[in-house]
Structure 1
């Protein structure tokens, strides 16, 4: 159980800002002013519509379910010009909640999920983000959380803080004119699919996601707002229900729901397109059956989805492989190892072996030389002395190790990219064998 941090006042170095951290929750049934002002600052940073007090109350009701904590950087030694936002509005924002990430072998590792990071344009390049990130990660490490995570709006910011790309997602388009034909027809005929109200998915989401999350390598926990977003019941951009979100449920052989899809239809596109908002399936059979349903929609000739897995069974299940087109692939989940022994000992391994790695960390949390010894699929990770008595086999930064952690890239590729150095010849082969997986990590949450 994670104990909530109390509100704090921090000034990690001499600059004209005070960092304040506080929970986003209601007090006596109302949203505190500091939460109202912080939320307006976030909306400004992400170019969202200015939320009303009622909107913010809806956000807070959801965010307090996750135990969300927020930080603001407040200008303390200068007044604001007439007409400008006053010092009660933060010039930078930062938030976190804590869930877990599936690292294989049935292990869900606690993870610190960072979100809502903004800096007002007029206050950039003054060290605010570094102060917020450094202070937060130090406290996370002290609390014993082995990993931090984020999904990045900009891909050039977070590497310098030790984050590395850990999963990718694809935008796909599937031509469905005439329906989808499957190479093995029975593969998509297990159970039944029935139409349902989108609001039903809101209520089913947590149970279905928990089951999918437990068996999906690379999956990270979803925040409470997700069940509203994917069912069209409201979100940060539109707090009122969206009327054009449709849903279908998959029922397994025992009659219970084991998957769903929510989608919208855009007939203004050429051709008319169904756009998947969310698709969760506990089994491979449910996944293909839901796609068969999407392929049967009348007057729809294309289905698009911007969160498809890199390794997608659908591509290999349909008879017309060229009907399946990847329109793009981008980084999704970024991880940041804070405790090397805890993180590496938690993940699953398929082969045995030993390798010693020197890890560099600009913030110092993961620095050191570590001996990784895997026996019968379980790793023992030992911190080695740094007095010259132990020579590492490989040398890399924590960002590189974080990308290697779930197999997003191989050590061989990072060496060719100039981001990893092999000290002992042949050690890259050993490392890649240890960290390889037959599964491609897939995360299903933006935050």
Structure 2
């Protein structure tokens, strides 16, 4: 196994090491075992057994995951404490892609497993790790980094911005589900299946949904276990009482599934993928037919949910929570903006401030025929809008408007009408929705 070492500054009492997550001769190396234990500590999970660690690694190898740890320089720890082989902070990344519209799946740098041991916080460790990692991602040609955050107050200072939201919903099903148009939820057939079938269907079906869903980001290989209830980080044993149903289209092909866990009088959805609107509504119709169930709950519903407008009893559809989900961080403004789909033509000059330097500058975006091109401008060109990279990253998919961020004091209009012009250009083809936690 090879790994990279870097020490940001002489006064920084830690050594950063980056290494691939992989097994050697069928076993997990001690370095990865110690790193995995540190991750479990940070997320309050159970101590990871070598057997479970091997299972994790077998999936993470598929994703080409890389791990980073911050280790005490000099290798000295107090007697009885965890030894120097355990990192005091963890970080990992892999690469998938993001649906930015127009049939484009853009490669992105996905960050995960970020922890800092409580006894070593506020010493610049996270800044050192994320700075080194973003430098590397930019150097390797990635235009955007992405993460889903456990805490929402950490990542804005590193240039990340909220790009999508997920809603937690609860649907009243005490009398079943009545639809405005019953035929829309009655196409094809829905049949019960063993949850293990979903594990094998997941990747192919997710690819179909991902390719058609604006704002969707790629899933890591462990997701097929999570979706089917067959394992998760912290517990690789199958979860009890996970049920599954499949939707078959008119030709008999599976084009949707739902996995769920009943706990009468409610059902909680684990994962729901539907390649068509009719499959989506048919799966909900099935859930509404479950006996002794009064409500169905889901934590990953889209902001713009067809179900809300399909059910006749709209008040039975309740959003019980709404939370930031996908965070993006633009690293290369020309590459990111030129990859995105546009529905209107026009031009706008944007000034972007980036404390880390990756996206700093003044840029002219010109859209012709729905295709964007970006020119880096010199100091003689006056910006029409000014914002930070966090704001541009939030605006990128169109999940929030420049008008809203201007009203919030986060975007400055330097030329009259520039906010409206920006919003016309960035009108999204759909409300962005990500179905992936990582």
Shift of 1:439: 1.0
Check the 8 A contact 2:102/2:340 in 1, yes or no: yes
Q: Find 2:38's aligned residue among 36, 41, 45.
A: 41
Shift of 1:352: 0.5
For the pair 1:336 / 2:329, whether they are aligned, the reply is: yes
**3-state DSSP class of the match of 1:66?**
coil
Please give the alpha-carbon distance, in whole angstroms, between the structure 1 residues aligned to 2:34 and 2:2.
19
Q: Output aligned runs, 1:160-309, within 5 Å.
A: 160-267=157-264, 272-309=265-302
Shift of 1:438: 4.5
Shift of 1:237: 2.2
For the pair 1:429 / 2:420, whether they are aligned, the reply is: yes
Q: Which residue does the alignment assign to 2:342?
A: 349
The number of residues matched between the two structures is 437
What is the CA deviation profile of residues 171-198 of structure 1, one whole-angstrom value per residue up to 9, with x for unaligned ones? 0000001210110110001100000000
What is the CA deviation profile of residues 244-291 of structure 1, one whole-angstrom value per residue up to 9, with x for unaligned ones? 100000000110000000000112xxxx00100000000000000000
Please give the alpha-carbon distance, in whole angstroms, between the structure 1 residues aligned to 2:92 and 2:236.
20
Q: Output aligned runs, 1:104-123, within 5 Å.
A: 104-123=101-120
**3-state DSSP class of the match of 2:365?**
strand
Please give the alpha-carbon distance, in whole angstroms, between the structure 1 residues aligned to 2:322 and 2:2.
40
For the pair 1:406 / 2:410, whether they are aligned, the reply is: no
For the pair 1:314 / 2:307, whether they are aligned, the reply is: yes
In structure 2, stretches of 5+ residues that fail to align are none
Q: Which residue does the alignment assign to 1:24?
A: 21
Please give the alpha-carbon distance, in whole angstroms, between the structure 2 residues aligned to 1:402 and 1:62.
30
Please give the alpha-carbon distance, in whole angstroms, between the structure 1 residues aligned to 2:347 and 2:6.
43
Q: Which residue does the alignment assign to 1:147?
A: 144
For the pair 1:10 / 2:3, whether they are aligned, the reply is: no
Please give the alpha-carbon distance, in whole angstroms, between the structure 2 residues aligned to 1:412 and 1:314.
28
Shift of 1:351: 0.5
Shift of 1:301: 0.9
Shift of 1:77: 3.1
What is the CA deviation profile of residues 28-66 of structure 1, one whole-angstrom value per residue up to 9, with x for unaligned ones? 110000000000000000000111111111111111110
Shift of 1:413: 1.1
Please give the alpha-carbon distance, in whole angstroms, between the structure 1 residues aligned to 2:235 and 2:286.
28
Q: Which residue does the alignment assign to 1:133?
A: 130
**3-state DSSP class of the match of 1:433?**
helix
What is the CA deviation profile of residues 349-380 of structure 1, one whole-angstrom value per residue up to 9, with x for unaligned ones? 10111000000001000001100000110001
For the pair 1:156 / 2:160, whether they are aligned, the reply is: no
Please give the alpha-carbon distance, in whole angstroms, between the structure 1 residues aligned to 2:284 and 2:9.
54
What is the CA deviation profile of residues 201-230 of structure 1, one whole-angstrom value per residue up to 9, with x for unaligned ones? 000000000000000000000000000011
Structure 1's consecutive aligned runs of 4 or more residues displaced over 4 angstroms after TM superposition are: none
**3-state DSSP class of the match of 1:112?**
strand
Shift of 1:239: 0.9
Check the 8 A contact 2:163/2:395 in 1, yes or no: yes
For the pair 1:98 / 2:95, whether they are aligned, the reply is: yes
Q: Which residue does the alignment assign to 2:353?
A: 360
Please give the alpha-carbon distance, in whole angstroms, between the structure 2 residues aligned to 1:6 and 1:195.
47
Please give the alpha-carbon distance, in whole angstroms, between the structure 2 residues aligned to 1:425 and 1:122.
50
Check the 8 A contact 2:214/2:429 in 1, yes or no: no
What is the CA deviation profile of residues 106-143 of structure 1, one whole-angstrom value per residue up to 9, with x for unaligned ones? 11000000000000001001000000000010011010
**3-state DSSP class of the match of 2:334?**
helix
Q: Find 1:88's aligned residue among 78, 82, 85.
A: 85
Check the 8 A contact 2:15/2:73 in 1, yes or no: yes
Check the 8 A contact 2:28/2:54 in 1, yes or no: yes
Q: Output aligned runs, 1:372-391, within 5 Å.
A: 372-386=365-379, 389-391=380-382
What TM-score, normalized by structure 2, do the two folds share?
A: 0.99
